[in-house]
Structure 1
């Protein structure tokens, strides 16, 4: 995975789909065949962002804390 300082397209909003390479972490895809953190998208799957795999978490580079907080409902 790419170092956080090399993120190529910081998110300002959540994407409609997420990319999953392992069941542990999901990433924000770009149109050029890579994720925001720079990982190549091959061999994984895209999922609806509203329904990522159970027990998975967002990539800390693709999904910055500010983006996730902005779009997470609060009680």
Structure 2
């Protein structure tokens, strides 16, 4: 299990789904019912990683900058 303080470890690839709690931020989910940043996945929903909510941004603890730059939609 990853400790929340280790959440900045790079992800090798984006997950197939992302976890959305608000329309502002999406997280990378883990198999243990938590996000990579350690937030419990209780009150949100998983959505296709290719289609996160409009104007949302990746959680800065779940996604490292290099990964986000490769996969984030451009304006």
Q: Which consecutive unaligned segments of at least 5 residues does structure 2 have?
A: none
Q: Distance in 2 between matches of 1:52 and 1:71?
A: 12
Secondary structure at the aligned position of 1:46 is classed as strand
Q: How many pairs does the alignment contain?
A: 71
Poorly superposed stretches of 4+, deviation over 4 Å: none
Q: Which consecutive unaligned segments of at least 5 residues does structure 1 have?
A: none
TM-score (norm 2): 0.80
Give the conservation status (yes or no) of the 8 Å contact 1:6–1:38. no
Q: Displacement of 1:71 after TM fit?
A: 3.8
Q: Distance in 2 between matches of 1:9 and 1:28?
A: 12
> Is 1:47 equivalent to 2:57 in the alignment?
no
